[in-house]
Amino acid sequence: MRIKKIMIFSLIILALTLSACVPAGTPDTTMPMGDDPMMTATPGSMMADNPEAAHMMEPISASNVQPATETTGGLPLAYREEDGIKVFELTTKAVQWPILDGVTVTAYTYNGTVPGPMIRVTEGDQVKIIVKNELDVPTTVHWHGVEIPNAMDGVPGVTQDPIQPGESFTYDFIAKPAGTFMYHSHFEGDVQVSAGLYAPFIIDPKESEANPPVVDKVLMLSELRMIDGETFAAMPMGGMEPNYFTINGKSFPATEMITVKKGDLVRLRLIAIGQFIHPMHLHGMPFKIVATDGHPVPEAVQLTKDTISVAPGERYDIEFVATETGQWMLHCHILHHTTNDNVEPGGLMLMINVVE
């Protein structure tokens, strides 16, 4: 037994020694946390020592921040039809976005809301999306999960030049496949996505569904850091833990209450767009996972669960029948994520209100 322990200990020492011997020029992904300047530096010294990190540590700001004129994000975006093409218009702009009574963040938005407006089309539709950049900084749009031509992928320096302030870019592609997708900034995404440049992109199937839900809601999960009235992009690194958590741009109790009738089939499309994982738990009514990352799960292998971890970039469509009346809570089970600046209750929580 003792020999076995010594052998395991020796193996650990050997592994640690080998991991320290990374050749010059190789990105070091094995550095122990204690030696990582990103993990040990104070935010101030990090900015001084590491200009690359500086943009992450600066508050979200813009010279032309406007008060929000809308209060709800993620609503369907109207389009016009030109020669059978659905044409949508998006404008990026900075607004003061209320996430909660008395708490307003500086947000980068599509069309002035967080999330931006929902683009909802049918599989096979040709779409054109004209993006005008009214931010002070360049941006691009990535169509997360949608199967598009490479030139439309929105990766700056790879598939397109960044859209400079004051400029426009038109994305043009066939919407496919059917499912739950999203669009978001791909320029300094660590800042711009946290700041609010994200929105749902839903592609409905061509053939109508055999058993469509009565209620169909998209819930986008994200986080922010707010200190002394300034907004920061939340990041899982020293000093940048989020203290506000949002569903569709709002923190509980400002999150939407979803009212359904007893017996309704309810579909919730969970989308994690922040930088943290969120195990979302529904009280009272177990659900089935009917699609993952937009793709349907065959009925025979659909899991029944009451908690589903949604990692950054993932989507899960869950469905349940509202069997019991009352207010049923849906919330993240990392319980720090159900606080507003460390005060419970708040954050990633909403109520499913089942009525007769």
Considering only 161-169, 182-190, 193-201, 326-334, which stretch makes contact with Cu ion by CB under 5 A? 326-334
Closer of 289 and 334 to Cu ion (Cβ): 334
* Residue 209: exposure state from Cβ atoms within 10 A (0-12, 13-18, ≥19): exposed
Task: Kindly state whether residue 308 participates in binding Cu ion, applying the rule CB under 5 A.
Answer: no
Name the minimum Å distance from CB 332 to Cu ion.
3
> Which member of 46, 94, 191, 332 binds Cu ion (CB under 5 A)?
332
Ramachandran area for residue 9 (φ above 0: left; ψ -120 to 50: alpha; else beta): alpha
Closer of 225 and 278 to Cu ion (Cβ): 278
Considering only 10-18, 125-133, 254-262, 332-340, which stretch makes contact with Cu ion by CB under 5 A? 332-340
Closer of 108 and 245 to Cu ion (Cβ): 245
Q: SS3 letters for 153-186?
A: CCCECCCECCECCCCEEEEEEECCCCEEEEEEEC
Size of the site for Cu ion (CB under 5 A): 4
Q: How far apart are CA 195 and CA 185, in angstroms?
A: 10
Q: What is the footprint of Cu ion within residues 65-84 (CB under 5 A)?
A: none
Task: Kindly state whether residue 337 participates in binding Cu ion, applying the rule CB under 5 A.
Answer: yes
Q: How far apart are CA 308 and CA 299, in angstroms?
A: 18
Closer of 111 and 243 to Cu ion (Cβ): 243
Tokens for 302, please give them: 């659909």
Quickly tell me which residue has 């960044």 as its tokens: 162
Q: How far apart are CA 122 and CA 321, in angstroms?
A: 26
Question: Is the separation of the CB atoms in 182 and 200 below 8 Å?
Answer: yes
Closer of 163 and 332 to Cu ion (Cβ): 332
Quickly tell me which residue has 């919330």 as its tokens: 331
> Which member of 285, 334, 341, 345 binds Cu ion (CB under 5 A)?
334
Name the minimum Å distance from CB 329 to Cu ion.
14
Q: What is the footprint of Cu ion within residues 259-278 (CB under 5 A)?
A: 278
Residues that bind Cu ion (CB under 5 A): 278, 332, 334, 337
